[in-house]
Structures are given as structure tokens and as C-alpha cells.
Amino acid sequence: MATSKRAGQALRRAHVIGAGLAGLSAALRLAASGRSQVQLHEAAGHAGGRCRSFHDELLDAVIDNGNHLLLSGNRSAMSYLAEIGAAETLYAAPEAAFPFFELESGSGWTVRPNRGLLPWWIFDPARRVPETSALDYLAALRLAFAEPMATVAQCLSGRRHLYRRFWEPLAVAVLNTAADEAAARLLWPVLVETLGRGGAASRPCIAKAGLSASFIDPALKRLGERGAEIGYSRRLRALEIVDGRVVQLDFVQGPIAAQPGDVVILALPPARVVELLEGARVPLESRAIVNAHFRLAAEPALPEDLPFLGLVGGTAHWLFRRGAIVSVTVSAADALAELDNDAIAMRLWADVAKALALPGAAMPAVRVVKEKRATFAQVPSALAMRARAQTQLANLFLAGDWTDTGLPATIEGAVRSGHLAAAAVLDS
């Protein structure tokens, strides 16, 4: 049991503040180590943060608060799912295939990387973006040598058709930042870990039943099995710091003393970290994501029989299907998020109706979900503001997709941040 003693000594406590993916992944690693008694504190009444599902009464269906597409090469996310016994809850496409639909022209295509490391698929017109050549794809190597302030557009926009029909949609989805301001250096490690390892590492993966069923509920169960304590509606108001270490955590419900040897992991958004740590250097500028979920009369057919579709040339960026629920995502959606929900729904339904060949169809029941501070703005100037897991305080550590993982603020980045924080605690 995690509450037992090790080598004759009581286990130290690890207070993990925040039960999003970063906090959960850190808590799981610490609980599994047998060296810490984990106490997980969450300000909300539920775990998951921005990665969760809920039952929507209007749609009478379980929907995710945001749509997420993973790739089989996301090693941290896949390790996390294996650790909590939830690997089978993901749908994994049998091969790497990314279907797109251009809303203006009504044309579609599928980008289909081959399984091996040698990317011979770029020489096959049937596998690449229309009106592109094999030479166009080699421009991606510019990302590897990008200057610190270079943007994705500066590196890749020279190949017009490939940029508009593949690189720009990919970059906006991954970085949640417009390609003409998104940091080129953040896109490169994603390509290295997925497309750079061939089609076997690039197969699309989607939660079958929902994000909570895949990432949250099994994690909470595993933490309980490992003796972790989980408390909800526990908002941390302040940290008491003495002689370079946290000695007390002041929650709304009352203070908790941090004993010698105890550690604290803040797995919180950057704005909350600044509230708790005066003078903390974090990226505060953010970008929004807007999602809309439509209940159709029947499950629609999509190209390649895959449960997602990239959309080019409209407002919506990606379309996802789960039964009769069709969901669309708009990244870097600050301007769209300022509109009222009815206006957003009408605009996005126009794209959905085109993509699904439903001309003139009345808009069905819809739920619009806005995340106005979904991720930090992943622009070049923000990269230097990302904090490392170890802080200047001896027993305080940081986790979160905004920390310095070397990856963008994605599910993969959030999980890896938790793993890095746990490793820093165990090494300290």
C-alpha cells in the first residue's frame, strides 16, 4: 500500500494541486514509485480540467468539452493510457490517413504516409496533397533550423498548395495559434516524434466513448488503488514560504502544513501560478478554442470511414463523429469566441452541411462550448517564458502543458509535463 513505510521511514507526502492531465500523470507516477503518499487537490468538483466529458441534456449525449486527435507516436499519452489500463478505450486507425475536404471547391483528398521510416509516400500523387510535388515536402526541414523568432508561415508558406491544405491546418490544430504567428520551433518536435517516425507512429487515435472514459475515470480508479487521497472543491488560496521552501498550503477549507520532506506540485494554469507565486515568470497570453456539437438524425458517413475530417477554407477546422453526434473544432478562435452562441452555431453548421453534403438542411440541436483560455499563445516570444519543473523553492515543482516540455500545449505535452515533474521530485 502507498501508506506503508519504506526502509523504516514514513513516506513523505506529495501534494499535487490540480487534477487535470498534468496533475493526474504526476500523481500516478509518484504513487507508483512507492516513495510518496499522494494527496491530490482539485478546485473544481470534478477532475480532468480541459480534458473531460459530460452528459449534455439538450443533446441527450455524452460530449467532450473539447475535441482531441492523438497520434500513435504520442509516447507519453500512450504510456499514460497503458499505466491506467485504458489503452483499449482509444480507437486507432489501421493506418496513417488524414482525410481533408475543401469547403470552397468541394474537393477532397487523403494524406497517407507509409508505415516505414523512408517517406516514399511523398513521391506518390495518390498519397499526397493535390497540386503538390515531392520537393514541396522537403521544406519541412526548415523547421529544424528555424530561428528563435521564426513562425510556421515564414518557414512553410512558400509552397502555397501544401501550406494551405496541410501544413497550416496541422500547425493551427497542434499549436492553437495562427500559423503566421505560431512558433516554428514548436512544430518540429511534433513532426519528429510522429510523421518523422513513419506511418506506424502517425496513426490517428480518438477516444471511443469520451475523454473522461479514456483519460480521467481510469486514472482516478488507479490512484485510488494506489492509496492516493483525492479531494475536490479544494481551492488553494496561498502558499506560505519560509527559508526557501513551502511550509503551508492555505486552502479555502483551511491550512495544511507541509512537513519536512513533503513536496508540492502546482499543476495549474499559468495565471493561477502567478497568483500563488509572486514574480513567477510564465506565459500569460492565451488563445481560445471553440467547439460545437450537433446531434444529427443518423450517423453520417465520412471519407475512409474514419471518425474525423480536416476542413479547409471555412470557419471550422476539424470535424469529428461519434455516432450521430458531429462535433467541430475551431482553434486560435479568439475572434469567434466573442460572438454569441447562436451566431457561432449558424456559421459552423454551414461548414458541416457542406462537408456532409446536406444542402439546405435545418440546423439540428447544438451545444457550443467556448474555452477562451484554452492554451497559452504559442508564439516565439512565449517560449522563453515556459518554466521548468524544478523551481527555486526546494520542495515546489510545476506541471502543465505550458511548462517547458519542448512540446506544444497538447494532451501529449500535458502528460509529459506531469512525468517530468514527478521525475524531478523523485530525483530531488
DSSP summary character for residue 209: S
Cβ-contact 193, 201 below 8 angstroms: yes
117 burial (CB, 10 Å; 0-12 / 13-18 / 19+) is exposed
Question: Of the candidates 91, 316, 319, 323, which has an alpha carbon nearest to the alpha carbon of residue 207?
Answer: 91
H/E segment holding residue 347: helix 341-355
**Which CATH class, in words, describes the domain spanning 5-51+212-284+380-427?**
alpha beta
Interatomic CA distance for residues 326 and 349, integer angstroms: 10
DSSP summary character for residue 208: S
Interatomic CA distance for residues 306 and 203, integer angstroms: 11
Cα dist. 179→332, 338, 397 in Å? 9, 21, 32
Interatomic CA distance for residues 300 and 317, integer angstroms: 18
Question: Of the candidates 372, 362, 421, 352, which has an alpha carbon nearest to the alpha carbon of residue 24?
Answer: 421
pLDDT of residue 269: 97
Domain ranges (residues) in the chain: 5-51+212-284+380-427, 98-202
Sort strands 229-231 and 36-41 into parallel, antiparallel or unpaired: parallel
Cβ-contact 184, 152 below 8 angstroms: yes
Interatomic CA distance for residues 292 and 286, integer angstroms: 20
Cβ-contact 111, 71 below 8 angstroms: no
Cβ-contact 151, 180 below 8 angstroms: yes
DSSP string, 78-142: HHHHHHTT-GGGEEE-SS--EEEEETTT--EEEE---SSSS-GGGG-TTTS-TT--HHHHGGGGG
Interatomic CA distance for residues 152 and 185, integer angstroms: 8
H/E segment holding residue 189: helix 184-193
**Phi, psi torsion values for 250, nearest 5 degrees:** -100, 105
141 burial (CB, 10 Å; 0-12 / 13-18 / 19+) is exposed
pLDDT of residue 10: 55
Interatomic CA distance for residues 169 and 310, integer angstroms: 8
Cβ-contact 320, 308 below 8 angstroms: yes
Interatomic CA distance for residues 376 and 409, integer angstroms: 7
Residue tagged 519541412 (cell numbers): 140
Tell me which residues of the chain have a pLDDT lower than 70: 1-11
Helix/strand/coil for 284? coil
pLDDT of residue 12: 87
pLDDT of residue 377: 98
Compute the Cα dihedral for 18, 19, 25, 30 and give only its sign. Answer: positive
CA 355 to chain centre: 25
> How many CA atoms does the CB half-sphere of 385 hold within 13 Å?
20
